[in-house]
Amino acid sequence: MALVELRNVSKSFRKGEETITPLRNVDLDIAEGEFVSLMGPSGTGKSTLLNVISGIDRPDEGSIVVGGVKVNRLSRSKLADWRAANLGYIFQTHNLIPVLTAYENVELPTLLLKLPAAERRKRVTLALEAVGLNDRAEHYPRQLSGGQEQRVGIARAIVAHPLVVVADEPTGSLDSDTSEQIQDLLQRLNKELNITMLMVTHDTDVAKIASRQLLLDHGHFVEATQTC
Ligand SMILES: Nc1ncnc2c1ncn2[C@@H]1O[C@H](COP(=O)(O)OP(=O)(O)OP(=O)(O)O)[C@@H](O)[C@H]1O
């Protein structure tokens, strides 16, 4: 069984009189350790797909199973706990809390998991090490470069040892050199730490770092290319 399994997933939104259906009977399997990129024209439902997988949005139809758990059947409170333990989210603009240090930002998900202090320290240190930022642990976001801020965002996404990490345009706000560094980092985390990833991007070069590339259009995957 795939780690992430979507079957017949549909999701609509009402906008005034209009109904928009970004996801229409979507099926998707992602194996453990896979790195999948997702492209598609603007407004075709890429973020919606990430949101239904992570339980932020509920599908109208279909089932979403992650690590054997039917995510769309979880109650709201169970969903919050499940997400904290199993799902890492990397944003385009990192969403760090400005009054917390890099260390404290990365520590936040471990507080939700109610881990003992020693285990929290260990995980935060390892996550910062994995993104090459241990020497910036006590810096505040405003004292970091854009690329370093994104690294903190990535450390925060992996610190809970989630089953899957979803990334919505993780390089979208970065200059090309910094983007390349973040691409290398994501690829390394996938290959060396076996982190399963689903990444949305508008950039065909960024999409190529994944082991499988998907294209979403009008509610369906219309193309799937195997790369490496
Ligand atoms: N919470 C919501 N309420 C109403 N409409 C929504 C909501 N979320 C998404 N939509 C609509 O669903 C469609 C798909 O949006 P989505 O953000 O998933 O597209 P996208 O492919 O990620 O776009 P982009 O590439 O521009 O980020 C859009 O028309 C959007 O306006």
> Rounded distance, CA 46 to CA 38, Å?
7
Report the CATH number at residue 151: 3.40.50.300
4 part of a folded domain: no
**Residue 25 located in a structural domain:** no
- Based on DSSP, count helices (H) and strands (E) in the chain, helices before strands: 7, 10
Residues 160-198: pLDDT tens digits? Answer: 999 999 999 999 989 999 999 999 999 999 999 999 999
Pocket test for ligand 1, best of 10, 13, 17, 173 (most atoms within 8 A of CB): 13
- 143-157 pLDDT, tens per residue? 999 999 999 999 999
Domain that holds residue 191: 33-61+74-226
Query: Does residue 68 sit within a domain?
Result: no
Please say whether the beta carbons of 220 and 26 come within 8 A: yes
The model's pTM is: 0.92
Rounded to whole angstroms, the Cα distance separating 72 from 166 reads 17
Q: What is the pLDDT of residues 61-92, one digit of tens each?
A: 999 999 999 999 999 889 999 999 999 999 98
CA distances 148 to 83, 109, 173, 214, Å, are 25, 19, 12, 28
Per-residue pLDDT at 117 exceeds 60: yes
pLDDT band at 15 (very low <50, low <70, confident <90, very high): confident
Domain-located, residue 91: yes
Instruction: Give residue 228's pLDDT.
Output: 43
User: Which atom of ligand 1 has the smallest separation from the CA of 48?
Assistant: 18
The answer to whether 170 and 93 are in contact (CB under 8 A) is no
Q: Domain for residue 6, yes or no?
A: no
Asked if 127 and 159 count as a contact pair (C-beta separation under 8 A), the reply is yes
What pLDDT score does 25 carry? 92
**Total number of domains constituting the chain:** 1
| Residue 108 resides in a domain | yes
Ligand 1, residue 50: give the atom nearest the CA. Answer: 18
pLDDT number for residue 223: 60
Position 22 in a domain: no
| CA distance linking residue 205 with residue 218, whole number of Å | 23
Q: Which residue has the tokens 């333990």?
A: 85
pLDDT of 134 > 80? The answer is yes
Query: Is the pLDDT reported for residue 48 higher than 90?
Result: yes
Find the 20 Cα to ligand 1 centroid distance in Å: 9
Which segments of the chain does DSSP mark as H helices, in order?
46-53, 76-86, 102-112, 117-130, 146-158, 176-193, 204-207
Single-letter residue type at 60: D
Q: What three-state secondary structure class fits 173?
A: coil
Q: How far is the CA of 31 from the centre of ligand 1 (A)?
A: 26
Distance, in Å, from the CA atom of 104 to the CA atom of 124, rounded to the nearest integer, reads 9
> Quick one: average pLDDT of 122-126?
96
